Amino acid sequence: MLSRTVIRPGPRALSLSEIWAFRELLYFMVWRDLMLRYKQTLLGVLWALFQPTSGAIIFALVFARGIGPVGVPYPLFVYTGLLLWTMFARAVGEGSLSLNNGAHLIAKVYFPRIYLPMAVLVTSLVDFGVGALFLVVAMWFFHVAPTVAVLLALPAVVLTALCALGFEMWLSALGVRYRDVRYVLPFFLQAAMFLTPVLYPARTQLGWMASHGVPQWLLGLNPMVGALDLFRAALLPGFDVSIPVVATSVAMTAFLFVTGGWYFQRVESTLADVL
């Protein structure tokens, strides 16, 4: 009798050596995304300033007296939050569609599929860098001098980037099979911004939790809470952070990143067939 061998694709492990070998492709993808985003615009990359700056101005006018920490100008307080949140929301929002938008590439040539959400993240980091330049100007305008705590800014940005990439891997992989993701995600991100201490300090939520006997570390289950607190503690004088909240946020970010990578590699082998 003739035997028959059936070959099926299996899940591929995310190989750091393979990702490094294709690094030039990542540079090209990031450059392409930046060119497509700002091509034929009058202000070019300065549009990266529009969302956090306009948001900070609007909220500063609405909350004229401010609800930020004592001694910190509210426009500066809210801009630091919006700057980091905009990077996160833009990476997650666009990264969740990266596999669907890159279907023509996936079907034609092999490359590490993780590069598609990674390119979106790096592009968002470039926009963040432009916004950070304006933050330096804003700190000078409000006479806020950085201290040695500014070293915490880098861990805060890294924590946000890993959190965003974790969500990107989960949502982009889910979005291949369930197209509802692209419709649900904008509402989720909008609601999440108001549930996250972007426009108000985390102590507002911590005070409510303490008065109701709720453990404060639970606030860190929202991974962006710890990142925002670290970022503000790095830049704003007298801004305190809750160590349990930050520790929980770090653990939650690690969980999202690891599980997101696991699920992404399970879906990766069948992307060309599904798309």
152 inside domain: yes
Cα 128 to its chain centre, rounded Å, is 10
Helix (H) or strand (E) holding 267: helix 243-268
203: exposed, middle or buried (Cβ count in 10 Å: 0-12, 13-18, 19+) = middle
d(CA 96, CA 169): 7
Degrees (nearest 5) of the Cα angle 227, 262, 22? 85
Which residue, chain included where needed, has tokens 């968002």? 124
Looking at residue 37, what is its pLDDT? 76
Say whether pLDDT at 188 is over 90: yes
Asked if the structure places residue 16 within a domain, the reply is no
**Does the residue 250 lie in any domain?**
yes
**Residue 20 located in a structural domain:** no
Identify whether the C-beta of residue 41 lies closer than 8 Å to the C-beta of residue 34.
Answer: no
Task: Say whether pLDDT at 11 is over 60.
Answer: no
Whether 91 has a pLDDT exceeding 90, the answer reads: yes
Residues 132 and 136: their CA atoms lie apart, in Å, by 6
CA–CA distance, 270 with 275 (Å, rounded to integer)? 9
**pLDDT computed for residue 246 by the predictor:** 95
Residue 8 placed within a domain: no
149 within domain boundaries: yes
Per-residue pLDDT, averaged over 247-262, amounts to 96
170: closest CA among 100, 269, 262?
262
Q: How many domains does the chain have?
A: 1
Specify the residue for token string 């609405």.
Answer: 62
- As given in the structure block, the two tokens for residue 203 are 């102590």
Q: Where are the alpha helices (DSSP H) in 142-219?
A: 153-177, 181-195, 203-211
- pLDDT tens per residue across span 12-31: 555 677 778 888 888 888 98
Q: Note whether residue 2 is domain-resident.
A: no
For residue 152 the two structure tokens come to 């915490």
Asked which of 34-43, 144-153, 187-196 is least confident by mean pLDDT, the reply is 34-43
Confidence of residue 44 (pLDDT cuts 50, 70, 90): low
Residue 201 has a pLDDT of 87
Residue 65 domain-assigned (yes or no): yes
The residue-averaged pLDDT of 107-112 equals 82
Residue 130: CA count within 13 A, CB half-sphere: 19
Q: What letter would DSSP give residue 26? A: H
Q: Which domain covers residue 39, as residue numbers?
A: 27-274
Say whether pLDDT at 180 is over 60. Answer: yes
Rounded CA gap, 159 and 150, in Å?
A: 15
Residue 26 pLDDT: 87
